[in-house]
Structure 1
Amino acid sequence: MRVLTVCLNPTFQNTLLFPSFRLGEVNRAQEHYLDASGKGMNTARIVSQLGEESLLLTHLGGQRSEEMLALCRKDKVEILWADSKSEIRTCTTILCDGKATELVEEPNAVDSCTEGPIRKLFSEAIQRSDALIICGTRAPGYSASLYADFVKEAKERGLFVLLDLKGDDLKRCLAYNPDVIKPNLSEAAQTFLGLAVGEQDDTATIEDAIKPVLEEIYQTYHTTTVLSRGSQAVWVQAESFFCVPIEPIEAVNTIGCGDSLSAALTVALYKGTNLQQAVEYATKVATKNAKTIRPGTIF
């Protein structure tokens, strides 16, 4: 199968491993890695590592575009891109004492001439794709309706569609009946309940509030929700609600786990695996990602 991943927020990812880390001091990394990343590239790389054909639609710009293209080729991801005339951001993961700290640069706005070529590339790419994954926040400069337009076009062509989005982008897309949405708990609470939930917060009280919303989404749009909660069981809402436990492990780097889940879930469901088995498979792939130092990889 061939999977098209769309993410309009490309990223270089520096991963630095420290034996110890002290704020306000010089800290020397024990190991360091540079990868093409962002939610889209992480997802597309996992699709490739699962043995499927992987396309990534994004924008590139600035002095490091060729470097990004070379990294994508190394990961066997075919990249389709438009010139955004904006530099590619860099994010940094600090790994120390079994914990990951993420330092995030905000994306630069794309040039106003970027959207037209992106739309054209998308329309061409879905003609040779079986499934579509849209993930991540759009960089500034794109139309608010862009992702919804993509979902509409893809569903009209009969593609399987999975969304890893949040906020208004996710809400706008629901009208076109995506097959699966995969927010994490924090994103779902913010999008549908207007609640801010931190990754370390107690989420027990959120379940009663969010479950009716997920059920309504399924009844209204026939869209399945697969809601990830870090190391806690995944919540799934389709015709019924069920949970899929996560294997307890000592995580090395959790960056890209949600992206791994999206990739594996798309591959499994497109191939006809039943929902519960597909989610179980996807959580195992995400767990493999958590055991690696680099983001969005199971090798």
Structure 2
Amino acid sequence: MILTVTPNPSLDRTYEVPSLDRGAVLRATGDRVDPGGKGVNVSRAVAAAGALTTAVLPLGGYPGALIAELLGAQGVDVTAVTIVGQTRSNISIVEPDGTLTKINAPGPELTAEESALLLETVRTAAGGPSWIAACGSLPRGLPPEWYADLVARARGAGARVALDTSGPALTAALPAGPDLVKPNASELAQAVGRPLTTLGEAVRAAQELRSRGAGAVLASLGADGQLLVSAEGTFHGTAPVTAVRSDVGAGDASLAGFLITGGTGPKALASALAHGAAAVQLPGSAMPTPADLRPETVRITENPPPDQPLSTRALY
């Protein structure tokens, strides 16, 4: 069972449009409403794969109630921390070539009491799941060190923790020793303070995060696949994508695929790649089911060539 923590969940509305014309009246060719937030999406992907998952998240107002209802319908058990503020709503606009425009609301400001209750809820549940995935941005009211506190409490209770966040929240959490961190290429570059132009530079950046406390690094490199650097070695993998429909939640689907396959080694990396590639070919933030996966197309290389250039085109 995988428990996810999403401090800043959202209700996500996705519209597909023929083109994005500023100042025009746009007529959508498709639309959907999904529960959102990185940890929420991980839980949705875990449930779509047929595994057990619980989502811990602060919820408030009508959007919060609808998120809980939608997650329950998708087979996700919800442990809600009721807050005074209203859960945010986000908007995504997707064009036919996969270009995504997102409008993310800031979300409510959590009180000190709500923050403490969220941490305690995670600590109480930490003894049961095989992994805890703590994901996403921090809402107003939570300091950058909040994830470090969560990691320390969860690991103290015997849980393995995967962390998917960025910026000061990521760097502050590294000394607490998360078992896995999952940055994308730009987040990895930001964490080490330098641009990454080759696969070798990405490997060295991942090794630096490990030296600062992370047990393993699973880095999404967009069109260049994914990189896993851990005590077991360095592995790079790719999975072909025929057409990008939406990359919303694809990185979260990838993390889910990694964790449900044990959360370690090339086999888990292959699952992550298959889930991520399937997700970008689905509408909105739809999560892939086993029928959507094409594991036979995944390619994994150990100790990849360090001089391989990284492209600037991102998928997730």
TM-score by length of 2: 0.84
Distance 2:223 2:51 in 1: 27
Distance 1:223 1:135 in 2: 17
Q: In structure 2, which of residues 273, 277, 286 is the aligned counterpart of residue 283 of structure 1?
A: 273
Which residue is 2:223 aligned to?
Answer: 231
Distance 1:132 1:78 in 2: 14
* 1:267 aligned partner, one-letter code: I
Distance 1:219 1:111 in 2: 34
Deviations 1:52-82 (A, max 9, x none): 1111111111233322221111111111122
Which residue is 2:111 aligned to?
Answer: 111
Distance 1:139 1:31 in 2: 30
Moved over 6 A (4+): none
Distance 2:214 2:111 in 1: 36
Deviations 1:247-290 (A, max 9, x none): 132111111111011111111125xxx61121111110111111
Quick check: 1:261 aligned with 2:254? yes
Tell me, what secondary structure is at the counterpart of 2:170?
Answer: helix
For the 8 Å contact 1:233–1:244, the answer to whether it is kept is yes
Which residue is 1:215 aligned to?
Answer: 207
Quick check: 1:76 aligned with 2:69? no
User: Bigger CA drift: 106-115 or 254-263?
Assistant: 106-115
Deviations 1:130-157 (A, max 9, x none): 2110111110112443211221122223
> 1:238 Cα deviation (Å)?
2.0
Listed as ranges, the gaps of 5+ residues in structure 2 are: 290-316
Tell me, what secondary structure is at the counterpart of 2:126?
Answer: helix
Tell me, what secondary structure is at the counterpart of 1:41?
Answer: helix
Distance 1:256 1:63 in 2: 23
Distance 1:123 1:296 in 2: 30
> 1:18 Cα deviation (Å)?
1.6
Distance 2:112 2:153 in 1: 22
Change (3 A) 1:220 1:69: closer
> 1:204 Cα deviation (Å)?
2.5
Quick check: 1:88 aligned with 2:87? yes
For the 8 Å contact 2:11–2:63, the answer to whether it is kept is no
For the 8 Å contact 1:234–1:246, the answer to whether it is kept is no
User: Bigger CA drift: 274-283 or 259-268?
Assistant: 274-283
Distance 2:124 2:54 in 1: 12
Distance 1:78 1:69 in 2: 9
Which residue is 1:167 aligned to?
Answer: 167
* 1:12 aligned partner, one-letter code: L
Which residue is 2:185 aligned to?
Answer: 185
Tell me, what secondary structure is at the counterpart of 2:261?
Answer: helix
Distance 1:247 1:254 in 2: 14
Listed as ranges, the gaps of 5+ residues in structure 1 are: 196-202
TM-score by length of 1: 0.89
Which residue is 2:140 aligned to?
Answer: 140
> 1:220 Cα deviation (Å)?
5.3
* 1:10 aligned partner, one-letter code: P
> 1:222 Cα deviation (Å)?
6.0
- 1:11-26 alignment, distance < 5 Å: 11-26=10-25
Distance 2:23 2:212 in 1: 52
* 1:90 aligned partner, one-letter code: S
Which residue is 1:198 aligned to?
Answer: none
Which residue is 1:123 aligned to?
Answer: 123
Identity over aligned residues, as a percent?
22
